[in-house]
Structure 1
Amino acid sequence: MLKSRIRWILGAALLAATPLSAQPAIELHGASQFNDDHAFTKAMAKFGEVVKACYGKPINFVLHKNSELGLEKQYFEYMASGKAVDYAIVSPAHMSTFSKAAPFIDAPFIFRDLAHWTKVIELDLFKPIADEIAKRADVMLIGYGGGGTRNIFVNKPVRNMEEIKGLKVRVQGAPIWSRTFQAAGMAPTVIAYNEVYNGIQNGVIAAGENEAAGVEAMRFYEVAPQLAMTEHAITIRPLAFSGKTFRKLPKDLQDCVLKGGKEGAAHGRQVESSEDTAKLEALEKAGKLKRIPFADRAAMKKAVDPVLIEYAKEIDAHGILEKINAVQ
C-alpha cells in the first residue's frame, strides 16, 4: 500500500514537472488552392505565425496546399460542419448558400480604386454581412485578404463595350456576377475554377476574370493571353475560421486567433496589392500575355450600377452600399 502511494506521488510530481513543450499540442488545419508563392497561402502562413507567437503554448498549424483538400467551396462547407478544415481563405461567392448577402463583399464595381477599397475594409463596413454568415453558417470572418485588381483574360483582344458584346466569360457562382456581366453585354457562364483552363482550350468559353496572382498560378495566360484591363473589381478574400472549432479552443487561444486573423489578412492584402502590377509586368515581359487597354470602363460601370443598386436592395444591403459610396 505504501509503495503504491509512493509511486502515485512520484508520478504526479513527474507530470507536474513536465514542460509545456512536452504536452500534447493543439492542431489546426488550413487549406489553400495554391502553392507557397500565392498571396492567400502567405496570408494563412502569417496567421499561423502570429497565433503561435501570441499563444506561447504547444500548437501546430497544418496548411494543406495545392487543392489537396479540394476547392474553396468545399473548404467553406468543411468549416461550417466543423470537419477537416479549421481555417481558409474563401471567396465570398462560395458563402451564398448560407448568406445571400455574402457575395456583395466582393461584388464588381463597388470600389472606385485601391484607396477606396482599403478604407472600406478599415471601417469594417461589411460587419453586418459577417455577422449573418457567422449566425447561419457558423463560420467566422476573422480578417479580410485580397487586394488584387481583377481583369478579363481572353483568347482575343477586346478593347471596348462593342468588342465584349456576347463574350462567353466564366464568372463566379454568385448571381451578382452573372447579372452585372450580362448588364455589360457579355454572356457569363458559371463553371468550376479548376475547369476554366480546359473550358477556354476546348472553346466552351472564351474568357475568364481574375487578379494577377490567379492568372499566374493557374497559367490562364497559356490559353487566353490577352488581358483586357477592365479593372472591374478589387478582390476581398475573407480569412474564415470554423465557429465549431473556435468554441472548443481555450479563451487565450481564441483571442490569439482573432489577433492572427487581422494581422495575417492584412499581410495578405499588402502582398497581393503590391505584387499585382509586378506580376503582370513580368508575364508581359516574358511574352506570356499582353495587357489590352479597355476604353469603356466608365460606360461599363454606368451599365452595371442599376443592377448593383437593385441587387443591394434585394439582399438588404442597400445601406451598406450607400456607406461604401459615401467613403471619401
Structure 2
Amino acid sequence: MFTLRKSLSALAVAGLMLGLGAPLAAAQDYQLNVSTALTPEDPIYKGLEQFRDKVAERSAGKLEVRIFPSSQLGKDEDVLEQARAGANVAVLVDPGRLAVFVKDFGVLGGPYLADGFEGMRKVVTSPLFEGWSKQLHDTSGHQILSFNWWQGQRNLLTQKPVTTPADLAGVRMRTPGAPVWMETISAMGATPTPMGFGEVYPALQQNVIDAAEAQDTATHGARLYEVVKHLTKTHHIGLITGLVTSAAWFDGLPADLQAIVREEALSAGDAASKGTEDATATVDADMVSKGLSIDEIDVTPFKEATAGVYDKLGYGELKKEVDAILAK
C-alpha cells in the first residue's frame, strides 16, 4: 500500500509536471501502477497484461505499466483517492464507485440494464458516456482510460437454495458499497453488507456474512466455492468496469502517450471481455467438480422486485436515454 511519503512524492511530481510542462522524455520516464482486486488467474488480469505489454511496445519503453493483483495497493476506494491526489496509479473499478463523484455513472450498475457485453459496450463508448467522463475529469480529478472491461454477470452465492426474493429475507449479503448496488441487493430481498472483496472469504468462513454476490470468474479466482454451497444464476447485474487513473498524471503525459494508453486500454478491455465470456463455462464446471451447486432459476421475480431501483435512486429519466442507445 502506498505510504504517505510516496503519495506526497507523487503529488510533488504532479505539481512539477503541471507547473513546468511535461519533462523531457527518457526511457521509463513514466510509470503507471495498476491495481485490481482480481487474481492473476482471472481473464481480466490477462487483459491487463496485454495492456502492460502493448503500452511498453508502442511507447518504446518510455511508459512502464506495473500490475498489482489482489488489492495489493489497497481497497479500490483508497486507490481512487490516491489517483485523485495525483499519484501515478490506476484501478479497475465498477461504475458504482465513480457515482460518488458523478452520479450518472451509477446507472450502469443497475439491475438487468443490458443483455451481455455487447449491449454494455454500446453504452460505454457512446457520446453520453464521454460526457460523464469529461465531468469526472474536471470535477474529481480522475481520468477514464477505457470502460469496456466486462467481468460477467453477477450471481448469488448462498448457503441455502434461492428461487425467489423471499428466500433472501434476513440474509446478510456482501456487496460493494455504492448506492445502486446496495439498493439492488435490498430490493432482491437481502440485507446489503458492504466490504472489500478481499475480505469476503474469511467473512463467509467466520459467518460474519451469510452470502455474497459476484461474477463467476471472480468467485472461482477467490475460491469462494469453498465457503458457500450454492451459486444461483440470477444475472442481476452485468459487471462492466473501467480503468481509471489520475487526471493530473494523465494530463502531464505527452500527447502521443495519452493516445497510446487510451487506445491500448480499449483494445485490452475488448480482449479481456472475450476472455471472460470464454472462461465462464470452464470455471463453472470446475466449481461443480469441487462440490458447488450451480442452480438455474426463473429470474422473473428478481427482475420484478428490482424494477423500481432506477426511479428510487433518481435514474428513471437517464435509464430512458440508456435504453435508447441500446435500441439502436
CA distance in 2, matches of 1:65, 1:310: 35
In the alignment, structure 1 residue 87 sits paired with structure 2 residue 109:
no
CA distance in 1, matches of 2:126, 2:278: 21
- 1:254 Cα deviation (Å)? 1.2
Q: Assess if the C-alpha contact under 8 Å between 1:212 and 1:277 holds in 2.
A: no
- 1:47 Cα deviation (Å)? 1.4
- 1:39 Cα deviation (Å)? 2.5
SS in 1 for 2:153: strand
CA distance in 1, matches of 2:61, 2:195: 43
CA distance in 2, matches of 1:195, 1:219: 12
- 1:169 Cα deviation (Å)? 1.2
CA distance in 1, matches of 2:310, 2:81: 27
**Equivalent residues in 2 for 1:255-270 (5 A)?**
255-270=259-274
* Residue of structure 2 aligned with 1:163, choices 152, 159, 167: 167
TM-score of the superposition, structure 1-length normalised? 0.83
Q: Assess if the C-alpha contact under 8 Å between 2:137 and 2:247 holds in 1.
A: yes
In the alignment, structure 1 residue 320 sits paired with structure 2 residue 297:
no
CA distance in 2, matches of 1:99, 1:238: 14
Cα shift readout 1:72-126 (whole Å, capped 9, x = no counterpart): 122211111112x422211222223322333322222212344433443454653
Distance 1:208 1:24, change over 3 A: closer
SS in 1 for 2:212: strand
In the alignment, structure 1 residue 105 sits paired with structure 2 residue 69:
no
SS in 2 for 1:88: strand
CA distance in 2, matches of 1:82, 1:213: 32
The residue aligned with 1:18 is none
The residue aligned with 1:137 is 140
Count of aligned pairs: 304
Bigger drift between 186-195 and 172-181 goes to: 186-195
Letter in 2 for 1:311: L
The residue aligned with 2:216 is 212
Q: Assess if the C-alpha contact under 8 Å between 1:151 and 1:210 holds in 2.
A: yes
Distance 1:30 1:269, change over 3 A: same
Q: Assess if the C-alpha contact under 8 Å between 2:101 and 2:136 holds in 1.
A: yes
- 1:24 Cα deviation (Å)? 5.4
Q: Assess if the C-alpha contact under 8 Å between 1:170 and 1:209 holds in 2.
A: yes
Q: Assess if the C-alpha contact under 8 Å between 1:87 and 1:241 holds in 2.
A: yes
In the alignment, structure 1 residue 128 sits paired with structure 2 residue 118:
no
CA distance in 1, matches of 2:252, 2:207: 48
Q: Assess if the C-alpha contact under 8 Å between 1:312 and 1:318 holds in 2.
A: no
- 1:176 Cα deviation (Å)? 1.4
* Residue of structure 1 aligned with 2:255, choices 251, 254, 259: 251
TM-score of the superposition, structure 2-length normalised? 0.83
SS in 2 for 1:317: helix
**Equivalent residues in 2 for 1:5-84 (5 A)?**
23=27, 25-83=29-87
The residue aligned with 2:313 is 311
Structure 2 residues not aligned, in runs of 5+: 1-24
* Residue of structure 1 aligned with 2:292, choices 286, 289, 292: 289
- Root-mean-square deviation (CA, aligned residues, Å) is 2.5
The residue aligned with 1:15 is none
Cα shift readout 1:14-53 (whole Å, capped 9, x = no counterpart): xxxxxxx985543222222333222332222211222223
Letter in 2 for 1:327: A
CA distance in 2, matches of 1:219, 1:279: 11
The residue aligned with 2:19 is none
Q: Quick check: which has more Rg, 1 or 2?
A: 1
Distance 1:53 1:72, change over 3 A: same
* Residue identity (%): 22
CA distance in 2, matches of 1:175, 1:28: 29
CA distance in 2, matches of 1:28, 1:226: 39
Q: Assess if the C-alpha contact under 8 Å between 1:92 and 1:105 holds in 2.
A: yes
CA distance in 2, matches of 1:23, 1:247: 19
Q: Assess if the C-alpha contact under 8 Å between 2:94 and 2:242 holds in 1.
A: yes
* Residue of structure 1 aligned with 2:190, choices 186, 193, 208: 186
CA distance in 2, matches of 1:97, 1:161: 28
Structure 1 residues not aligned, in runs of 5+: 1-20
Distance 1:215 1:277, change over 3 A: same
CA distance in 1, matches of 2:136, 2:321: 16
Distance 1:82 1:39, change over 3 A: farther
